[in-house]
Amino acid sequence: MTDLSEDRDQQMFHKHRNLLFSVAYRLLGTAADAEDAVQDAWIKWSSADRSQVADPKAYLTRIVSNLALERLRSTRYKRETYVGPWLPEPILTSGDTAEAVTDAESVSMAMLVVLETLSPLERAVFVLKEVFDFSHAEIAEAVERSEAAVRQAAHRAREHVRARRPRFTTDRPRQREVTERFFAAATGGDVNALMELLSPDVTLWTDGGGKVRQALRPVVGATTVAAWFAAIGTVTYQGIEPADMNAELVEINGGPGMLFSGSGRVIATVTFDFDADGRIAYVHNVANPDKLQAVADGTAHDVGTR
């Protein structure tokens, strides 16, 4: 193979690299595993007979989907035996993602949590069909199943997700406004202001992974959740005094979120899901240090679907 053709093939892979990461991340829920899947896809691509590949995008998507499926199956037991709630690994995202409502919703922490309840096959089929708009035939080839099996899995997954995700979408400016008000109230210790922003039956999910102290069960109710966040500025956390803790608003998983840091490291992220009235219905707080590397490196990911 000539150097020119190798350069062309490298350029082709690079052209689709963001798409491959987007697929792998939605399938796996962790940036580290998604990056590994993309790297493994490159190895397979570079060693394949690419002269026989008619559609590089479909071919690469099939490779990364299969790699992600294998990894998802192998990690399923670890997630089921995880200490406390298992939440996806948060990532910083670019403004383009936030502007594309479908892209942002499909990569939101709330949606990724729902996807965790699907079987690996259902998750792959749902992501490829509903998010990336692949045909049933293309998906069947990608996951190495019959088209009939893919259609059945797609139906099951769609019904499952619909039952667990609200059918409304709070507009982006409203989400930003509520998040900014929550940020000010939490960092200022204003319980009453927090209560105004929370749905009465709001649920807080925290993920410390047994590495740092967090609630091992969901925290439910506006009063309890408001008290939890109002204490941020008054207690020492992971050895960091309140005066040495920094908080900032950032874009996480396609929406506005909060990032906490101190002593030169990221210590937690907080993201939100909203009800029909624009109040906060779910809060996802990731504090497991193993899951904060992607945020800590400061890279904003493009997780668009094209």
pLDDT of residue 91: 97
Sheet holding 265-274, edge to edge: 219-220, 198-207, 280-286, 265-274, 255-262, 246-252, 92-93, 300-301
- CA 114, 118, 122, 123 dihedral sign is positive
Residue 123 lies in a domain: yes
Element (H, E) at 117: none
299, 218 Cβ separation under 8 angstroms: no
**pTM attached to this predicted model:** 0.91
For residues 98 and 183, state if they share a domain: no
The share of the chain scoring above pLDDT 70, in percent, equals 93
What is the reported pLDDT for 9? Answer: 79
Question: Buried b / exposed e across 88-126, counting CB within 10 Å, b at 16+?
Answer: bbbbbbeeebbebeebbbbbbbbbbbbbeebebbbbbbb
Whether residue 181 sits in one domain with residue 134: no
Q: Is 221 exposed, middle or buried (0-12, 13-18, 19+ CB in 10 A)?
A: middle
Say whether both 156 and 244 belong to one domain: no
Is residue 306 a part of any domain in this protein? Answer: no
Instruction: Look up the domain containing 129 and give its range.
Output: 3-164
Of 139, 164, 189, the residue that ends a domain is: 164
Rounded Cα distance between 264 and 136, Å, is: 47
Q: The tokens of 269 are what?
A: 């992220």
CATH of the domain at 84: 1.20.140.160
Torsion angles phi and psi, residue 91, rounded to 5 = -135, 150
> Are 18 and 104 within one domain?
yes
The CA angle 55-61-65, to the nearest 5 degrees, is 150
b/e per residue 260-286 (b: at least 16 CB within 10 A): bbbeeebbbbbbbbbbeebbbbbbbbb
User: Does any domain span residue 147?
Assistant: yes
Of 116, 142, 164, which residue constitutes the final position of a domain?
A: 164
Give the pair of three-digit tokens for residue 264.
Answer: 């030169």
160 shares its domain with 296: no
Could you tell me if 142 and 61 are in contact, meaning their C-beta atoms sit under 8 angstroms apart? yes
Shared domain check, 201 and 80 = no
Question: Is 214 within a domain?
Answer: yes
Tally the domains of the chain.
Answer: 2
What count of Cα atoms within 13 Å lies in the side-chain half-sphere of residue 93?
Answer: 31
What is the pLDDT, as a whole number, of residue 68?
96
The low-confidence residues of the chain, meaning pLDDT below 50, are: none
Same domain, 134 and 228: no
